[in-house]
Structure 1
Amino acid sequence: MKLLAGASVAGRKVLITGAARGIGAALARQLHAGGAHVALLGLEEELLAEVARECGDAPWRYCDVGDRAQVDGAVQALVEQLGGLDVVVANAGVARQLPLIGGDPAVMEQTLGVNVLGVYYTLRAAGPHISHAKGYALLVSSLAAAVNLPLVGAYSASKAAVEVLGNTLRIELAHTGAKVGVAYFAELDTDMTSRGFGTDAARAIIGRATVSGVAPLGPAIDAVEHAIARRKRQVVSPWWVAVVLPFRPIAQRVIALSLRRGVRRALEIARSEEAPFTTEQPRRPRKMEREA
């Protein structure tokens, strides 16, 4: 995708979470090539350092986005190194299959901790710095926020919450001149798809690893770059996601009818299958442990 005349990311100061791999890493490289100044947050330090080198020795920090104190400190440090902030991309997220009945509740807790609280903490820390006429926040949600599949309840719930956070923040920042976008992606060619959804249980439902087929990452990164340059309200990839979003109830009914045959067997598999999180997570105290 070529940017429109007058639209450019050159000179923008951009903070990206989840930047060690996948969407975050690819976006950092492309924005740097387009003249943006990027700063990176993530968990995998060796991968982050490599991406940073490829982005002109961009500043980076280890950061568990589910830890508010870490987010506050890391964002402040990187904003100081950048000399300000124009854009924050709240991209960090995890996925892991979960049968809602009989599954491990820790999966739900961890997923919400990263995908919802992590996005909130990121926006809370970066928000004051982007609250200006050229400011922009992009929240990475998912088609899963609109169309919900069996075994993906934790992930879908978290991405629906991200969508809500984006829609709310858009109203709350409007008076500052800053804008807010929400990205909706189907299954892209990333570890999120292959590790998070490419399980035996998923195959038992749909006969293959994904519902719609894996789409290339490149067009999604082009779309995000364009969204940042234009401060767009919505980003989709592949293109057909934009067609599905307005017809959520119909799409949900089609999914429910077409996938119901294999669900019982898939649930049996999922309750014993060792499916990993898409990115290994640091151990956080569970709520009951913190209150003890």
Structure 2
Amino acid sequence: MSKPLHGQVVVITGAARGVGALLARKLSARGAQLALVGLEPDELAQVAAELGGRSWEADVTDRDAMARVADEVVAAYGRVDVVVANAGIATGGPFLASEARTFDRVIEVNLLGSVATARAFLPALVASRGYYLQIASLAALTPAPMMAAYCASKAGVEAFAHSLRAEVGYQGVKVGVGYLSWTDTDMVRGADQDDVLRELRARLPWPTNRTYPLDPAVERIADGVARRSAHVYAQWWLRGMQAVRGYLPSLVGTVGQREMRRAEPRLRATADRRRGLVGAGGAADETARKDLSSGNSAP
């Protein structure tokens, strides 16, 4: 499995931790050269140094910054063979109780950040006849109450990637979509710190109510990158969700109302706990935006 990636230049966004960092390690073990992009320069540099790669600090929603990064990656390596648009953040809770800025930021990073990533790197992928993998989610396959921003953004990136596949396939570029269920990352652990959200998730039907280990999930993604797959499923059962996804909105709409009615008093009493982004990655995004607004951003 290592031969298809030997010597290929792979760009991964959101590579400081979680899925992105572990994917970098797995692809490096298969011979890839790595260009890691994200908001946490120290963590990125540590992963890059460990793997003999390079790192770039950039906000994926900043089109100018991403264009600069793409130019610098091509200048450093001479080409780009694979891009994995992995950067993502999340928030949870009822839509009407959410902060508009936080809700919108999830859409910006997950959807518009992926658009900016593709806009910056697709010319290089056309030149190399490369592969673009868009990381989506179970949230792209089924809606869920209290995840409106995340579901909307992941459904959006799925549709975006499918559209790109039709546009650039004739130029030799393959486009894939990666799907993950609840996986043991900082984002999921951060969401589970909210007692109400954690208990509601535990009431989901099997197998959607489990948290899955990170390593086998990312191993499946690495396999998908090596094969340049159109669809990559980090958990085996997600493939089957494609066949029933048309029925899920009605089912979730019925069952979700019951669960929301039961949880509403506790949600109302604890609303102040779920105003921001979840997990360490969300905290990094909020810190970067505060630094930018106060004029403390790095040159």
Alignment of 1:1-292 (within 5 A): 3=1, 8-56=4-52, 58-132=53-127, 134-207=129-202, 211-263=208-260, 264-265=264-265, 267-269=267-269, 271-274=271-274, 276-277=276-277, 278=279, 279=281, 280=283, 281=285, 282-283=288-289
- What is the RMSD computed on CA atoms of the aligned residues? 2.3
How many angstroms does 1:208 deviate by?
A: 6.7
Quick one: distance in 2 between partners of 1:206 and 1:158? 20
Deviations 1:34-84 (A, max 9, x none): 11111000111111111011111x111111111111111122112211211
Q: Which letter does structure 2 place at the counterpart of 1:22?
A: G
Q: Which letter does structure 2 place at the counterpart of 1:187?
A: W
Quick one: distance in 2 between partners of 1:138 and 1:274? 31
Q: What's the % identity of the aligned pairs?
A: 35
How many angstroms does 1:261 deviate by?
A: 3.3
How many angstroms does 1:177 deviate by?
A: 0.7
SS in 2 for 1:273: helix
Please tell me whether the aligned partners of residues 9 and 225 of structure 1 are also in contact (alpha carbons under 8 angstroms). no
Deviations 1:192-231 (A, max 9, x none): 2111354223135345799421111122222222111111
SS in 1 for 2:143: coil
Q: Which letter does structure 1 place at the counterpart of 2:211?
A: V
Please tell me whether the aligned partners of residues 139 and 166 of structure 1 are also in contact (alpha carbons under 8 angstroms). yes
Please tell me whether the aligned partners of residues 39 and 82 of structure 1 are also in contact (alpha carbons under 8 angstroms). no
| TM-score, with structure 2 as normaliser | 0.87
Quick one: distance in 2 between partners of 1:100 and 1:162? 20
Deviations 1:226-283 (A, max 9, x none): 1111111000121001001221133344444444333123542563224542322122
Mean CA deviation greater in 153-162 or 262-271: 262-271
Q: Which has the higher helix share?
A: 2
Rate the CA distance shift 1:162–1:191 in 2: closer, same or farther, 3 A: same
Quick one: distance in 2 between partners of 1:175 and 1:88? 18
Rate the CA distance shift 1:230–1:272 in 2: closer, same or farther, 3 A: same
Q: Which letter does structure 1 place at the counterpart of 2:32?
A: A
| TM-score, with structure 1 as normaliser | 0.89
Gaps of 5+ in 1: 287-292
Mean CA deviation greater in 164-173 or 261-270: 261-270
Number of aligned residue pairs: give it. 281
SS in 2 for 1:85: coil
How many angstroms does 1:150 deviate by?
A: 1.1
SS in 2 for 1:93: coil
Match of 1:290 in 2: none
Gaps of 5+ in 2: 294-299
Quick one: distance in 2 between partners of 1:233 and 1:162? 14
